[in-house]
Amino acid sequence: MTEIVADRVPVARRTARRGLRHLVRTQPLGVVALALIALFVLAAVLAPVLAPFDPVTQHREAFQQPPSAQFLMGTDDLGRDIFSRVLYGARTSLLVSVATLVAGGIIGIAIGVASGYFGGSALDTTLQRVMDTLMAIPGIVLLLFVAALLGPSVRNTVIALSLLVIPSFNRVARGEMLRIREELYIESARASGCSTWRILRRHGLPNLLAPLLVVTSLLFAIVIIAESALSFLGIGTPPPTPSWGAMLSEGSRYMEIAPWMVVFPGGILTVAVLAFNLLGDALRDFFDPKQQTR
């Protein structure tokens, strides 16, 4: 048994290396996007080390100062260092996005897997009518209603955004599970007496990994934009917690006299969203059998 496990490890490593080389060769934009996302995550994690100032500290002698050696991205209307706030804003966006996708993903995937495996049953019909109701409500209306009802806080922002992504995870998981349950290896597992949970755990969920990775990367960009939009409207992450959306809202009033208050957080937000979208497109093409080269 030990020899078998030891033999599998090098094989898995070689397979991973081949997959990585294939990704680099066929999806160069995806690799660039992945590098940008890695920088984004690194900046968020190391924000306390990289930030030259506390993000909420007001420099009374430096209101709306343009970018300089001391303040790399200038200061805002309260004298706070924009560079430090952008770094901590990345932390906020990363925290909210990860929490949203984990919570929404668990619920949406669980509903989609159960609905797809028991497709055509009363359970499937009931679950999908609930999902249809959520999807029928415009996203921005749903976000505004939930966020305004619960009040501005990071936790409530995550709850509101989770309701936005649950139908997307459900749709992907259900569609794939409807296909997977008709495969011969699923029929063989049923015939051999495997329980439903074992079939889903050993055969269903692993085959959902590729499409779920793609939809997660695309939803990451949507969640970042949605969180920024809620903060821009004042019902997302509450002040003084740094948030890109709140920074854009504050800077929009001073665009003519202090454009750096909008340019830098808006530019970073644009790059982050673009990177996640490019990564999602690259993963979609990478996992598509029709795109695989022989």
User: Tell me: the pLDDT tens digits for 99-111?
Assistant: 999 999 999 999 9
CATH of domain 35-48+71-291: 1.10.3720.10
Give dist(CA 85, CA 72) in Å, integer: 11
Among residues 252, 248, 251, the alpha carbon closest in space to that of 232 is found at 248
Average pLDDT, the chain: 82
Q: What is the pLDDT of residue 58?
A: 87
Averaged pLDDT, 215-242: 85
Average pLDDT over residues 8-14: 50
CA distance 130 to 133: 5
**Confidence category of residue 153, pLDDT binned at 50, 70, 90:** confident
The token pair at 180 is 């997977």
Specify the pTM: 0.82
Nearest to 128 by CA among 174, 84, 72, 66: 174
In sequence order, the 6+-apart residues with CB closer than 8 A to the CB of 266 are 244, 248
Q: CA 109: distance to chain centroid?
A: 15
pLDDT, one tens digit per residue, over 28-82 is 787 888 889 999 899 989 989 998 998 888 888 888 888 988 888 989 888 899 9
- Note the pLDDT of residue 23: 61
Lowest mean pLDDT among 2-6, 74-78, 85-89, 263-267: 2-6
pLDDT (average), residues 226-236 = 83
3 has pLDDT over 50 = no
State how far the Cα of 92 lies from the Cα of 242, in Å rounded to an integer: 7
Average pLDDT, integer, range 160-169: 90
The first and second tokens of residue 87, run together, are: 């770094």
pLDDT of 294 reads 42
* Spatial distance between the Cα atoms of 227 and 225, rounded to a whole number of angstroms: 6
Which pLDDT score, from 0 to 100, does residue 104 have?
A: 92
φ/ψ of residue 85, rounded to 5:
-70, -35
The residues facing 81 across adjacent strands are 75
Predicted confidence at residue 7, as pLDDT, reads 45
> What pLDDT, on the 0 to 100 scale, is given for residue 105?
92
Query: CA–CA separation, 47 vs 141, rounded Å?
Result: 33
How much is the average pLDDT of 170-175?
90
Q: State yes or no: pLDDT of 192 exceeds 50.
A: yes
Would you place residue 9 in the very low, low, confident or very high pLDDT band (cuts 50, 70, 90)?
very low
* Tokens read off for 26: 């066929």
pLDDT at 1 (0 to 100):
44
Closest-CA residue to 161 (of 229, 72, 87): 229
Is residue 169 very low, low, confident or very high in pLDDT (cuts 50, 70, 90)? very high
pLDDT the model gives residue 263? 92
Judged against a pLDDT cut of 90, whether residue 175 lies above it is answered with no
- pLDDT for the residue 85: 92
Q: 204 with 113: CB under 8 angstroms?
A: yes
Of residues 234 and 248, more confidently modeled: 248
Give the pLDDT score at 150. Answer: 82
pLDDT, residue 292, reads: 52
For the chain, give every domain's residue range: 35-48+71-291
pLDDT at residue 32, as a whole number: 87
